[in-house]
Amino acid sequence: MRRGDVPVGPVALAGTSLYTGRILTFRCDQPNSMTKTRVLTGITTTGTPHLGNYVGAIKPAIEASQRPDVDSFYFLADLHALIKCQDPRRVQQSRLEIAATWLALGLDTDNAVFYRQSDIPEIPELTWMLSCVCAKGLMNRAHAYKAAVAENEELGHQDMDKGVSMGLFGYPVLMAADILMFNANKVPVGRDQIQHIEMARDMGGRFNHLYKGQYFTLPEAVVDDKVEVLNGLDGRKMSKSYNNTIPLFVSEKKLQKLVRKIKTNSLEPGEPKDPDSCTLFQIFSAFASAEETAAMRTEYANGIGWGAAKDRVFEYLNAHLREPRERYNALLEDPGHIENVLKQGAEKARAEAQPLMERVREVAGLGRFV
């Protein structure tokens, strides 16, 4: 099986538990895995989607949702957003922009369940249940928390937990609830998130063991090495934390301006240029077909000038983004529509979350008396 392929049917999952250090194997025989593979992923709503998000996450997710053997759950991780961002306007705006982006790019919500995390009250409820079976020591090893502690140490602070909220500390538990709630088989994520999926497996396995049943499917992280990580304006990885992004749906004018800002070297027109070390070429090839990419390669070898190359890339991107940009702008004008779409998604999601949560409450001793 190729990397990134999603197996169909009951799958045996294996991994090393962070908790015990032992190799664990589990069969997941939840009903959904008999027919379709459930793919679930969340998008933290703190920023504006950029070309890197599109190439690395949105495009592959939308494509996966079109496969007949895949059952996809995509959600706005807005409870996660509160960990990093306490600016309500930014959280609200980002939720709207991200929802509009996915819809404008063609996510078919009849095919995929698309919802806001904060519309599913069962998620924070499950978070608590998992917190009670999750070792604190496991959270001590979570990399976001460790990074915060390391920073305090570096700055010479007395209190190693300075600036660390319980939200940040327990972040992997919320993420585990997101995943376990819907019995996800595959969770496409960036490399930095693999640890959290492993922790989700750990919590799910521990709950299953403690309460003697197969309540939760144990998820597997999917990190697709084929998916490109785009570079940004300055040549480093495109990321909002580097402030080097090209937002997907900026105006035509702004897009042109940003493309012109992409860092290139000082070679003159007529001098052959190396496409493989060039951010401009990399961005182009992430969108272009194999033939178009090969043609651009020849242009580089023939010494195309940077101005001309940038115009070419701008024209190309603009032609591809024009239609979705129009849809995006129309969607932003109609937040009521987006609200409805997400509410319908939440209804579908809750139809699964409620019975699961009821079962979980019951096995833990929180069932009804009669």
Q: Let me know: does 235 contact 282? Beta carbons within 8 Å.
A: no
The residue (of 121 and 307) whose beta carbon lies closer to ligand TRP is 121
Distance CA 274, CA 297 (A): 8
CB of 157 to ligand TRP, least distance (A): 25
16: which DSSP letter? Answer: E
Kindly state whether residue 91 participates in binding ligand TRP, applying the rule CB under 6 A: no
From residue 183 to residue 212, what is the string marking binding to ligand TRP with x (rule CB under 6 A)?
----x-x---x-------------------
Q: Let me know: does 226 contact 4? Beta carbons within 8 Å.
A: yes
- Helix %, strand %, coil % of the chain (to 5): 55, 10, 35
Tell me if 168 is assigned to a ligand binding site: no
CA dist 123 → 179, 305, 329, 350 (Å): 9, 54, 31, 10
340: which DSSP letter? Answer: H
The residue (of 20 and 86) whose beta carbon lies closer to ligand TRP is 86
From residue 21 to residue 40, what is the string marking binding to ligand TRP with x (rule CB under 6 A)?
-------------------x
- Which of 42, 52, 205, 275 is the binder for ligand TRP (CB under 6 A)? 42
- Which of 80, 201, 310, 325 is the binder for ligand TRP (CB under 6 A)? 80
Long-range contacts of 318-327 (CB under 8 A, 24+ apart): 318/252, 318/255, 318/256, 320/287, 321/248, 321/249, 321/255, 322/252, 324/104, 324/105, 324/106, 324/248, 324/249, 325/104, 325/248, 325/249, 327/103, 327/104
Kindly state whether residue 220 participates in binding ligand TRP, applying the rule CB under 6 A: no
Tell me if 285 is assigned to a ligand binding site: no
The residue (of 42 and 49) whose beta carbon lies closer to ligand TRP is 42
Tell me if 217 is assigned to a ligand binding site: no
The residue (of 40 and 278) whose beta carbon lies closer to ligand TRP is 40
Q: Let me know: does 60 contact 53? Beta carbons within 8 Å.
A: no
Kindly state whether residue 103 participates in binding ligand TRP, applying the rule CB under 6 A: no
Tell me if 139 is assigned to a ligand binding site: no
The residue (of 189 and 230) whose beta carbon lies closer to ligand TRP is 189
CA-nearest of 107, 100, 101 to 73 is 107
Tell me if 318 is assigned to a ligand binding site: no
Collapsing DSSP states into helix, strand and coil, what is residue 325? helix
Ranges of beta strands (E only) in 54-147 are 70-77, 112-116
- Which of 6, 62, 76, 77 is the binder for ligand TRP (CB under 6 A)? 77
The residue (of 58 and 309) whose beta carbon lies closer to ligand TRP is 58
The residue (of 50 and 80) whose beta carbon lies closer to ligand TRP is 80
Distance CA 228, CA 225 (A): 7
Kindly state whether residue 244 participates in binding ligand TRP, applying the rule CB under 6 A: no
- The helix (run of H) or strand (run of E) holding residue 14 is strand 11-16
- Contact positions with ligand TRP (CB under 6 A) in 269-308: none
Q: Let me know: does 232 contact 242? Beta carbons within 8 Å.
A: yes
Kindly state whether residue 49 participates in binding ligand TRP, applying the rule CB under 6 A: no
Tell me if 202 is assigned to a ligand binding site: no
Kindly state whether residue 175 participates in binding ligand TRP, applying the rule CB under 6 A: yes
The annotation places the binding site for L-tryptophan at 178
Give me the residues that bind ligand TRP (CB under 6 A), please: 40-42, 44, 77, 80, 175, 178-179, 187, 189, 193
